[in-house]
Amino acid sequence: MSDAVKLTCATCGQMNRVPRARLAEAPKCGSCGEPLLDGRVHELDGPGHDKAIRGDELPLLVDYWAPWCGPCRMMAPEFSKAAKALAPQARLAKLNTQDHPDIAGRARIQGIPALVLYHRGREVARLAGARPAADIIAFVRQNAPASV
């Protein structure tokens, strides 16, 4: 499977290989059966965040947020709209910085909401502040590697 893409299941953490030609066919996790590219925003825990950042071979946009943050809560529906529009070319996830301050520190998050785009273990770009779905989509499309 040389033309396969590795994706971490947001539910069970299992790494999956999906043929690139089948990304639009609603692939499911080989371990738990949950959808891998369903256009939903998934909440990451600490280990899931680190594994997805390191292992995923599709662009992964992480929204670093906190439940007490008004702009974060205001942007949540826009982030969900963007997730639907970008699937299956990219995945969108959230990390609660209140529950995982150590990860927020490692990611050098200085203010929230903060959007960080990762690809193959590297940070590609970041965007600060609450944004409408159109801005989030444009940000990912402008900054995601051309090979995706």
Written as six digits, the tokens of 63 are 């929204």
Model confidence band, residue 26 (pLDDT cutoffs 50, 70, 90): confident
User: Residue 116 falls within a domain, yes or no?
Assistant: yes
User: Residue 20 falls within a domain, yes or no?
Assistant: no
User: Residue 74 falls within a domain, yes or no?
Assistant: yes
Other beta carbons less than 10 A from residue 26's beta carbon: 13
Q: In what order do the strands lie in the sheet with 42-43?
A: 42-43, 91-96, 60-65, 114-119, 122-128
Percent of the chain whose pLDDT exceeds 70: 97
User: Residue 4 falls within a domain, yes or no?
Assistant: no
The count of domains in the chain is 1
Model confidence band, residue 10 (pLDDT cutoffs 50, 70, 90): confident
DSSP 8-state assignment for residue 147: T
Which of the residues are catalytic?
69, 72
SS (H, E, C) 75-102: HHHHHHHHHHHHCCCCEEEEEECCCCHH
User: pTM for the complete prediction?
Assistant: 0.92
Q: How confident is the model at residue 145, as a pLDDT?
A: 83
Q: What phi and psi, each to the nearest 5 degrees, are found at residue 74? A: -65, -35
User: Residue 27 falls within a domain, yes or no?
Assistant: no
Q: How confident is the model at residue 2, as a pLDDT?
A: 57
The CATH number of whichever domain residue 106 belongs to comes to 3.40.30.10
| Residue pLDDT, tens place only, 75-98 | 999 999 999 999 999 999 999 999
- Report, as an integer, the average pLDDT of 5-17: 91
- Report, as an integer, the average pLDDT of 109-122: 94
Mean pLDDT across the chain: 92
User: Residue 24 falls within a domain, yes or no?
Assistant: no
User: Residue 79 falls within a domain, yes or no?
Assistant: yes
Distance CA 132, CA 82 (A): 9
Residue at 82: amino acid letter = A
SS (H, E, C) 102-123: HHHHHCCCCCCCEEEEEECCEE
Domain of residue 52 covers 39-143
Q: Please say if the pLDDT value at position 133 is more than 80.
A: yes
- Report, as an integer, the average pLDDT of 25-30: 91
User: Residue 14 falls within a domain, yes or no?
Assistant: no
Distance CA 23, CA 148 (A): 11
Q: Please say if the pLDDT value at position 103 is more than 60.
A: yes
DSSP helix/strand/coil, 36? coil
Written as six digits, the tokens of 53 are 């950042």
Distance CA 130, CA 39 (A): 20
Give Cα 61 to chain centroid, integer Å.
4
| Residue pLDDT, tens place only, 62-80 | 999 999 999 999 999 999 9
